[in-house]
Amino acid sequence: MKVDIIGAGALGLLFGGKLAAGGVRVRFWTRTTEQARLLREEGVHIEEPNSALLHIAPSMILAHSVNDIVDGSMNNSEEEVPDWIFVTTKQRSVDHDLLDIIGQIACPKTGIICFQNGIGHIEIFRSAFKNRSIYVAITTEGAKRRDSHYVIRAGVGSTQIGIPQASQSLLYNDSIDKKKDQFNGEDLLKMLESAGFEAFLSKEIDREIYRKLLINAVINPLTAIWRIPNGELLDTKLRVAMLKQLCEEGMRIYEAHQISIPSNMYEQIISVCQSTAGNISSMLSDVLKGAPTEIDSINGRLTEMAQAAGISAPGHEILLNLVRGLEAAGD
């Protein structure tokens, strides 16, 4: 099996590194030539939750910068065409250039799996690759990049993979050819399992996407603004009241769009805060690095959905602007 990983951030390094350790041909595509060089020279280091260190030697992986494709200095030889492409970039990196690169690397039989938070990108993939199934992975793996070739697996999670169906077209109005979109990823699941991941095929991936969206929409902006790890959201009554308000607003938005998600979302959010208590959320991490955040694809999308349904979501609206304001300040 051949897997290409586009985006060697924390999740990309974790999945790519462990798959390579399990004997899969893994090729990383990085944004910078410097990271590709480092991976070729040093390999990948993974620190497991029990502190065990896994070193994937340089000889076990391939690594290139996407610039090699853009400037035409590298041709994608036929024997290297991947069976699967894992797109593990941030959602904001899903643009014309990225789609063009994927188009050059993939062949018609290559499966594309999107790992991004938020919503909106799947429709972009679908319209760029009309004749193929676009898969979505929702993972609770906790991964933190220590440097460009070293990742800490903060917590072992599980990964659900599926093909989004009708509800994803809610705002974007694309139509899905259900016959084409049959999941044929049994080999993929086996490969992930033998690399040490808990992976499932989900027939309800839309529900998972919206469940994760609400978890991210509640936890991420609050931690980014208050600059606290996830667990500290439970430390005061005021913070917990904010969690509740944002969760209830989200549930009302979903209800207005007839999106079904579990009724115990508030309890689920509390439990994510507890199980990831020491984690810095991805949004806080972006803010601390001065990088753009995923606020638009998370709270921005929820706010659009509220407007489309003619209901108000004041908590999500204000958070959207507060986090956008942090970005504008180059904080």
- What is the binding site for ligand PAF (CB under 6 A)? 117, 215-216, 219-220, 230, 272, 276, 279, 281-282
Query: Do residues 134 and 110 touch, judged by C-beta distance below 8 A?
Result: no
Which residues have a Cβ under 8 Å from the Cβ of 147 and sit 6 or more positions away?
A: none
Task: For the CB of residue 49, give the shortest distance to ligand PAF in the complex, in Å.
Answer: 15
Task: For the CB of residue 272, give the shortest distance to ligand PAF in the complex, in Å.
Answer: 5
The residue among 168 and 276 lying less far from ligand PAF, judged by its C-beta, is: 276
The residue among 4 and 294 lying less far from ligand PAF, judged by its C-beta, is: 294
The residue among 101 and 265 lying less far from ligand PAF, judged by its C-beta, is: 265
The residue among 133 and 276 lying less far from ligand PAF, judged by its C-beta, is: 276
Task: For the CB of residue 219, give the shortest distance to ligand PAF in the complex, in Å.
Answer: 4
Query: Do residues 171 and 187 touch, judged by C-beta distance below 8 A?
Result: no
The residue among 81 and 322 lying less far from ligand PAF, judged by its C-beta, is: 322
Dihedral class, residue 23 (left if φ above 0, else alpha if ψ from -120 to 50, else beta): left
Task: For the CB of residue 177, give the shortest distance to ligand PAF in the complex, in Å.
Answer: 31
With CA atoms as reference, report the closest residue to 292 among 13, 93, 29, 121: 93
Beta strand extents in the chain (DSSP E only)? 2-6, 25-30, 44-47, 53-56, 61-65, 84-87, 111-114, 134-139, 142-147, 150-155, 158-162, 198-201
Task: For the CB of residue 285, give the shortest distance to ligand PAF in the complex, in Å.
Answer: 7
